[in-house]
Structure 1
Amino acid sequence: MTAIKKADFIDSVESALQYISYYHPKDFIDSLFQAYQLEQNPAAKDAMAQMLINSRMCAEGKRPICQDTGIVTVFVKIGMDVTWESDLTVQEMVDEGVRRAYQNRDNPLRASIVKNPIGPRVNTKDNTPAVVHVEMVVGDKVDITVAAKGGGSENKSKFVMLNPNDSIVDWVLKTVPTMGAGWCPPGMLGLGIGGTAEKAMVMAKESLMDPIDIQALKQKGAETPVEKLRVELHEKVNQLGIGAQGLGGLTTVLDIKIKDCPTHAASLPVAMIPNCAATRHAHFVLDGSGPSFVQAPSLDDWPVITQESSEQVKQVNLDNISQAEIESWKPGDTLLLSGKILTGRDAAHKKIKDLLDSGEGLPSNVDFEGRFIYYVGPVDPVGDEVVGPAGPTTSTRMDKYSEMMLNNKSEGGLGLMGMIGKAERGEIALASIKKNKAVYLMAVGGAAYLVSKAIKQSRVVAFEELGMEAIYEFEVKDMPVTVAVDTLGDSVHKTGPEIWKVKIQQAN
């Protein structure tokens, strides 16, 4: 019988979570770099360059790949011959490892978990509890896989109960375009097929822990039904032309992963969960000899990439910007922003609305008129950092506040000039942008540490009690963004994939 000590389990979970916060898996880096080299759309290629540069910076600096350091999911496979030297349950040991990892002084991770999902949604402050799946298996060891999944990609999870003879391929190809770019492609799609509804979802999530090997599979030749489905979906999803960050391009998915199991004769449950540009997972085994630590990779595993400056890049001074200037911008333009911007995301927008509805109004020092807002919840800074990793959050969640934020003060709005976030905007936001001749700019999801280096000053101006969701004022210097929606309401997230879908079809 193997005895697993409480301290060994907790230490190993803590170490693995710190590890995955700043080290991408090597297979992901290799696959993303290959896609970068093949990409023909300059905007998508630049987005992947930022992801790769950010990844290397995080590996060197041991800081989070993404500001959304995720909800922790842990798969624990316990050998039947294992005994425990612990006064805690497996769930409690995992949570203690999470607590220590997320409160690490050298590399604090953002606590994003709120209790009482139907309200009040109060942050637990330490990112616990984790989601733990326990399975009893043959043997005398404990096999553990830890993952941290960001909300932007988790929110795009899909499930359907198909009829037994329905086409899985047709459902996937119909569904992926509806997911938008909030899951920060290119990444992986994990499918769980069979079992029951909850079993399919767990299989889909667990499939994302497998290594990227689609190119090796193609070279070998697909043999089983699952292998053939993986290859077919990989080719056909990429033919949709969605591309990196939804800008249009050759690579939308780096791999398709599938797990399946027997199901009822009348059923065909299918779950699909995307993994984003911040793919984070690690695997280790406890055998009773002590804690298990994942070996650090070599920095030689990362390609050295530099962003190429272009004559088309426009320098923008946000402290002295005119309506005429923003009306000159076109979808797909690359800008380097300098000056002061305000921040705000879900909780801040809700509080703003509540204050306006109550008649109390905003604090006297908060004025959005003629300014830009950045949808972000940064990681706490360490050392001499102004702010920790500070990449964009998914903008569509703020769509319902567009009228309130963009309308002129004479119409009861706040007079915002522009917004910065990631992914596409919905029809409500597009209509409001067009009506108010505002703009929406896109920062790259998956480049949080890189973006943070453009932030030269930071201060909280309101709602400090909201933590990472407070309103900050950032002073930025050369912050890279792409014009996603211009003042006419034209969106690159609509035109880009349409153009590249046609180009890919013509090339084939």
Structure 2
Amino acid sequence: MAVIKTEDFIQSVADALQFISYYHPQDFVQAMHSAYLKEESKAAKDAMGQILINSKMSAYGKRPICQDTGMVCAFVKVGMEAKLDKTDRTVTELVNEGVRRAYLNSENPLRASMVSPPNGARKNTKDNTPAIVHIDLVKGDKIDVELAAKGGGSEFKSKFKVLNPSDSVVDWVLEMLPTMGAGWCPPGIIGIGIGGTAEKAMVLAKESLGGKIDMHEILERGPKTPLEELRVELYHKINALGIGAQGLGGLTTVLDVKINEYPTHAACKPVALIPNCAATRHVHFSLDGSGVAVLPYPKLEDWPEIAAQDQSNIRRVNLDTITQAEIESFKPGETLLLNGKLLTGRDAAHKRIVDMVKKGESLPVDLKGKFIYYVGPVDPVGDEVVGPAGPTTATRMDKFTDFMLNEVGIAGMVGKAERGEATVDAIKKRKAVYLMAVGGAAYLISKSIRQAKVVGFEDLGMEAIYEFEVEDMPVTVAVDSQGTSVHKTGPSEWKVKIENMNKTPEKV
């Protein structure tokens, strides 16, 4: 019987969470690089290039890949012949202690995102606990742990439906993908669970995302099982949608499709879909009583060399002197380099701003004519002015945008993913603009921020209003002043292009 020290368990969890905060799995890096090399859409290729550069920078700097360092999900398989040396705490409590230790690490503090209760006060727990823990008793004398840090932008694009037994899983998935928008930061991995009950299907989908990316291997040798055939069919058909990296349109929307199955009732076919984003973070380790887990540390030379984008012909924009005429000259899909003062604000800040303006109260900072960046940065360490500071999903701010444009008077917004139809109409009516930064490039983006200070709502923590001084921060014009959205035009154009490519003799 293996005796495993509780301290080894806790420290292994803490070490693993630090590890996945800055190391992408190597199979993901290789798959992303392969997609980058074959991508023909300039906008999508540039986005994937930023993701790969960010990945390498995070590995070297040991700082988070993404500002959203995720909710911790743990699959713990306890061997029935394994024993913990102390039994004063449950396995879930030990996982939570490891989470607490990892997220409060002073050398690489991770952003705490968990709030409790989920409805009402929603107070941040400050240490990212509690984790979501799944425990299973299995044969053997080891404890196996699969840890993932799941960002909100991808986790809450999950879908579920109980299909009729004769319904097509492929048809349902292809129906769901376009409705997910770009907030899940493609290209990534789609996890699917088929069978069981409602909750079982969701767990199956989540657990599938811990598997190795092996689609390239299956494509080379050909599928050998019905499940592999289904994976390949979905892989090709999802990519044929043309959604592309960051939803800008392109050849690659998914790097792999993973599927787990379980028997189910004869009257139904439960199906769950959960995406993993471009900040894919997971690792597996085993404890056998010999000490803390040994993690699969990568070699830094394993990251590909990606040439930085040539910025010589890219328009530089001074946010401190920007004019309405300049805003109206921005073209859909154009790359800009932002300079000057950029204010930040997310969900909580927007709600407070709206409430204060409606009450006639003065705001802590003048927002008229300013640009708002939707971000909740990681705390800085050492000589950093700010920690990783990538964009959050702009769609969540849609409910506030008309008010922010017309009553508060902001000139533009920076975030990730698409905007809703009503918001696009409001942007067009106000002759404003929405700019997109690359989700999954948080550490790279933070290097464009030269100064940072809190100028309002300090009590909101990472959701406070910051004033960033940015230098050559790269963004894409996602909705221009005429209401043209690249998240609509890009995928539509590339879906047609892909259809035409597949009709050519070379592809037959």
Cα deviations by residue, 1:345-366 (Å, 9 ceiling, x for unpaired): 0110111122123332423xx1
Q: Structure 2 CA distance, aligned partners of 1:318 and 1:361? A: 23
Could you say which residue in structure 2 is the equivalent of 1:385? 384
Cα deviations by residue, 1:147-200 (Å, 9 ceiling, x for unpaired): 000000011000011000001000011110000000000000000000000000
Q: Structure 2 CA distance, aligned partners of 1:268 and 1:57? A: 44
- Deviation, 1:392, is 0.1
Could you say which residue in structure 1 is the equivalent of 2:130? 129
1:507 to 498, 501, 504: 501
Q: Structure 1 CA distance, aligned partners of 2:311 and 2:340? A: 21
Query: Match of 1:487, SS?
Result: coil
Q: Structure 2 CA distance, aligned partners of 1:143 and 1:155? A: 27
- Deviation, 1:293, is 2.8
Could you say which residue in structure 1 is the equivalent of 2:372? 373
Could you say which residue in structure 2 is the equivalent of 1:494? 488
What is the identity, as a one-letter code, of the residue corresponding to 2:160?
A: F
Query: Match of 1:342, SS?
Result: strand
Q: Structure 2 CA distance, aligned partners of 1:372 and 1:293? A: 46
Q: Are 2:448 and 1:449 equivalent residues in the alignment?
A: no
Could you say which residue in structure 2 is the equivalent of 1:417? 411
Q: Structure 2 CA distance, aligned partners of 1:453 and 1:89? A: 42
Query: Match of 2:376, SS?
Result: coil
Could you say which residue in structure 1 is the equivalent of 2:506? none
Query: Match of 2:361, SS?
Result: coil
Q: Structure 2 CA distance, aligned partners of 1:471 and 1:19? A: 30
Query: Match of 2:185, SS?
Result: coil
Could you say which residue in structure 2 is the equivalent of 1:244? 245
What is the identity, as a one-letter code, of the residue corresponding to 1:17?
A: L
Could you say which residue in structure 2 is the equivalent of 1:192? 193
Could you say which residue in structure 1 is the equivalent of 2:462? 468
Q: Are 2:295 and 1:294 equivalent residues in the alignment?
A: yes
What is the identity, as a one-letter code, of the residue corresponding to 2:59?
A: A
Cα deviations by residue, 1:40-94 (Å, 9 ceiling, x for unpaired): 0001000000000000000000000000000000000001111221221001000
For structure 1, which segment, 147-156 or 291-300, has the greater mean C-alpha deviation from structure 2 after superposition? 291-300
Q: Structure 2 CA distance, aligned partners of 1:432 and 1:312? A: 31
Q: Structure 2 CA distance, aligned partners of 1:175 and 1:226? A: 20
What is the identity, as a one-letter code, of the residue corresponding to 2:433?
A: V
Could you say which residue in structure 2 is the equivalent of 1:25? 25
- Deviation, 1:311, is 5.2
Q: Are 2:11 and 1:11 equivalent residues in the alignment?
A: yes
Q: Structure 2 CA distance, aligned partners of 1:56 and 1:82? A: 38
What is the identity, as a one-letter code, of the residue corresponding to 2:29?
A: I
Q: Are 2:212 and 1:211 equivalent residues in the alignment?
A: yes
Could you say which residue in structure 2 is the equivalent of 1:59? 59
What is the identity, as a one-letter code, of the residue corresponding to 2:269?
A: L
Could you say which residue in structure 1 is the equivalent of 2:172? 171
Q: Structure 1 CA distance, aligned partners of 2:451 and 2:308? A: 24
Q: Structure 2 CA distance, aligned partners of 1:298 and 1:152? A: 29
- Deviation, 1:308, is 2.6
TM-score w.r.t. the length of structure 1 is: 0.98
Q: Structure 1 CA distance, aligned partners of 2:285 and 2:434? A: 43
For structure 1, which segment, 78-87 or 269-278, has the greater mean C-alpha deviation from structure 2 after superposition? 78-87
- Deviation, 1:435, is 0.9
Q: How does 1:52-451 map to 2 (within 5 A)?
A: 52-86=52-86, 87-310=88-311, 312-363=313-364, 366-407=365-406, 413-451=407-445
Q: Structure 2 CA distance, aligned partners of 1:423 and 1:141? A: 42
Q: Structure 2 CA distance, aligned partners of 1:198 and 1:113? A: 21
What is the identity, as a one-letter code, of the residue corresponding to 1:169?
A: V
Q: Structure 2 CA distance, aligned partners of 1:312 and 1:346? A: 35
Query: Match of 1:461, SS?
Result: strand
- Deviation, 1:310, is 4.9
- The count of aligned residue pairs is 501
- Deviation, 1:318, is 0.7
Q: Structure 2 CA distance, aligned partners of 1:308 and 1:423? A: 21
Query: Match of 1:48, SS?
Result: helix
- Deviation, 1:426, is 0.5
Whether the 8 Å CA contact 1:46–1:307 is kept in 2: the answer is no
For structure 1, which segment, 215-224 or 200-209, has the greater mean C-alpha deviation from structure 2 after superposition? 215-224
What is the identity, as a one-letter code, of the residue corresponding to 1:402?
A: T
For structure 1, which segment, 301-310 or 68-77, has the greater mean C-alpha deviation from structure 2 after superposition? 301-310
Q: Structure 2 CA distance, aligned partners of 1:6 and 1:452? A: 37
Query: Match of 1:219, SS?
Result: helix
Q: Structure 2 CA distance, aligned partners of 1:77 and 1:348? A: 41
Q: Structure 2 CA distance, aligned partners of 1:224 and 1:265? A: 22
- Deviation, 1:448, is 0.1
Q: Structure 1 CA distance, aligned partners of 2:289 and 2:154? A: 36
Q: Unaligned 5+ residue runs, structure 1?
A: 408-412
Whether the 8 Å CA contact 1:312–1:334 is kept in 2: the answer is no
Q: Structure 1 CA distance, aligned partners of 2:141 and 2:495? A: 51
Could you say which residue in structure 2 is the equivalent of 1:410? none
- Deviation, 1:304, is 1.1
What is the identity, as a one-letter code, of the residue corresponding to 2:145?
A: I
Query: Match of 2:284, SS?
Result: strand
Whether the 8 Å CA contact 1:422–1:444 is kept in 2: the answer is yes
Could you say which residue in structure 1 is the equivalent of 2:2? 2
Instruction: State percent identity of aligned pairs.
Output: 67
TM-score w.r.t. the length of structure 2 is: 0.98
Q: Unaligned 5+ residue runs, structure 2?
A: 503-508
C-alpha root-mean-square deviation of aligned residues, in Å? 0.8
Q: Structure 2 CA distance, aligned partners of 1:58 and 1:250? A: 26
- Deviation, 1:312, is 4.3
What is the identity, as a one-letter code, of the residue corresponding to 1:35?
A: A
Whether the 8 Å CA contact 1:6–1:93 is kept in 2: the answer is yes
What is the identity, as a one-letter code, of the residue corresponding to 1:97?
A: G
Cα deviations by residue, 1:71-125 (Å, 9 ceiling, x for unpaired): 0000000011112212210010000000000000100000000011111110000
Cα deviations by residue, 1:421-468 (Å, 9 ceiling, x for unpaired): 000000121111011000000000000000000000000001000000
What is the identity, as a one-letter code, of the residue corresponding to 1:455?
A: I
Whether the 8 Å CA contact 1:209–1:281 is kept in 2: the answer is yes
Query: Match of 1:294, SS?
Result: coil
Q: Structure 1 CA distance, aligned partners of 2:471 and 2:75? A: 42
